[in-house]
């Protein structure tokens, strides 16, 4: 029976997507807003990008954090001089709060930010696909004038949990794009923040196949897709994201999420579908594992 207990793909490394980044961002807000970032140490140069002059530390040191915002899979920390620290976890990035500033650096710690009277914030990232950089919000003009996104994030599409992206708007966007549903959900300019794990879970909840054309959906199916997108992401946030066996995803305090208990397809190849009992299938699509029920997703 030993092979029957082969865990649900123990090697899988779920990556921070919208629910995980949202969880980190909410806790980060409580930790850094109003505090001064006293000192910055960059020990992994690759993690600090888009700075030709190595000015990351000097642009952040001595600044006070005014607020934290998540946009897609990015976190934005506004500083008191108008600059914005932008963070992306890539595949293996973690932001961790360390209470005692003297605590030895964990392996793959690339950036440390010492907060006035509140320990240290550390960016740990074994695979170094994540990045931190400093930018500025671009001022938008016209009817909705005000501070917009940094130009590096201008490509991001709407937030899936924003009320303005209702099912009718989603339907209109689907009509203008050709690709399959999974490709669309994962396309950050179509909708921001959804990656491999949550696209599979959303499409299972919507009972739609990953390769269905967006243009083929009728109104009822678009409504289902929209409701599933909002439902899955909202519940995943409520359970503080997904951690699998390798526990790659940890929150700001090193704790795991709990949404993995509700995964219906991701990492469950060969196991029974919770809805119709046929085995969940895994296909390799564009270099990534795609999980779905071949019977009840159509």
Partner DNA sequence: ACGCCCGCCTGTAAGC
Partner DNA sequence: TGCTTACAGGCGGGCG
Active site residues: 16-17, 73, 288
Closest CA to 86 of 54, 48, 42, 37: 48
Task: Select 77 or 115, whichever has its Cβ closest to DNA.
Answer: 77
Torsion of CA 69, 123, 48, 240, to 10 degrees: -40
* Among residues 62, 119, 126, 158, the one that binds DNA under rule CB under 7 A: 126
Q: Is 235 a residue that touches DNA (CB under 7 A)? A: no
Task: Identify the residue among 160, 180, 241, 257 touching DNA (CB under 7 A).
Answer: 180
CA dihedral 109, 19, 194, 121 (to 10 degrees): -20
Q: In this complex, which beta carbon is closest to DNA, that of residue 173 or of residue 258?
A: 173
Q: Using an 8 Å Cβ cutoff, are 207 and 298 in contact?
A: yes
SS3 180: strand
Secondary structure (H, E, C), 84-153: EEEEECCCCCEEEEECCCCCCCCCCEEEEEEECCCCEEEEECCCCCCEEEEEECCEECCCCCEECCCHHH
Reduce the DSSP state of residue 61 to 3 states and report it. coil
| Binding residue for DNA, selected from 73, 122, 240, 264, defined by CB under 7 A | 73
Cα 184 → chain centroid: 16
Which residue in 34, 67, 254, 286 binds DNA (CB under 7 A)?
286
Query: Is 178 an interacting residue with respect to DNA (CB under 7 A)?
Result: yes
Largest CA distance in the chain: 66
186 binds DNA (CB under 7 A): yes
Q: Is 277 in the site for DNA (CB under 7 A)?
A: no
Q: Is 175 in the site for DNA (CB under 7 A)?
A: no
Residue 29 makes contact with DNA by CB under 7 A: no
Q: Which is nearer to DNA, 145 or 284 (CB)?
A: 284
Nearest CB to DNA, comparing residues 63 and 133 = 133
Compute CA distances 276 → 142, 227, 234, 267, 279, whole Å: 52, 21, 25, 18, 9
**Nearer Cβ to DNA (62/158):** 158
Q: How far apart are CA 154 and CA 151, in angstroms?
A: 5
CB of 169 to DNA, least distance (A): 17
Could you say which of 2, 4, 99, 107 contacts DNA (CB under 7 A)?
A: 107
Q: What share of the chain is helix, strand, coil (3-state, %, to 5)?
A: 30, 25, 50
11 contributes a contact to DNA by CB under 7 A: yes
Binding status of residue 183 toward DNA by CB under 7 A:
yes
Q: Would you count residue 274 as binding DNA (CB under 7 A)?
A: no
Applying CB under 7 A, the residues found at the interface with DNA are 10-13, 15, 17, 46, 72-73, 88, 90-92, 107-108, 126-129, 155, 176-180, 183, 186, 188, 195-197, 246, 284-289
């Amino acid at each position: 029976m030993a092979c029957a207990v082969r865990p649900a793909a123990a090697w899988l490394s779920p990556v921070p997507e919208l629910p995980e980044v949202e969880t980190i961002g909410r806790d980060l807000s409580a930790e850094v807003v109003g505090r001064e970032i006293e000192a910055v140490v960059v020990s992994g140069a690759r993690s600090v990008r888009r700075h030709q002059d190595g000015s990351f530390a000097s642009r952040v040191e001595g600044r006070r954090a005014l607020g934290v915002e998540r946009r897609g899979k990015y976190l934005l920390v506004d500083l008191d001089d108008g600059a914005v620290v932008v963070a992306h976890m890539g595949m293996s990035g973690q932001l961790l709060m360390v209470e005692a500033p003297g605590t030895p650096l964990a392996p793959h710690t690339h950036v440390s930010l010492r907060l006035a009277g509140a320990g240290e914030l550390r960016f740990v990232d074994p695979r170094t696909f994540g990045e931190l950089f400093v930018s500025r919000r671009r001022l938008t003009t016209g009817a909705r004038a005000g501070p917009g996104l940094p130009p590096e994030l201008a490509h991001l599409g709407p937030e899936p949990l924003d009320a303005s992206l209702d099912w009718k708007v989603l339907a209109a966007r689907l009509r203008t794009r050709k690709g399959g549903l999974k490709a669309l959900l994962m396309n950050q300019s179509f909708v921001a923040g959804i990656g491999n794990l949550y696209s599979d879970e959303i499409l299972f909840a919507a009972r739609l196949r990953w390769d269905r054309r967006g243009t083929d959906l009728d109104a009822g199916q678009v409504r289902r897709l929209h409701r599933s997108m909002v439902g899955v992401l909202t519940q995943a946030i409520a359970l503080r994201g997904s951690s699998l066996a390798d526990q790659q995803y940890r929150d700001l305090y090193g704790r795991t999420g709990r949404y993995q208990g509700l995964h219906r397809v991701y990492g469950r190849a060969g196991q029974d579908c919770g809805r119709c009992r046929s085995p969940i299938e895994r296909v390799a699509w564009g270099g990534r594992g795609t999980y779905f029920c071949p019977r009840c997703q159509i």
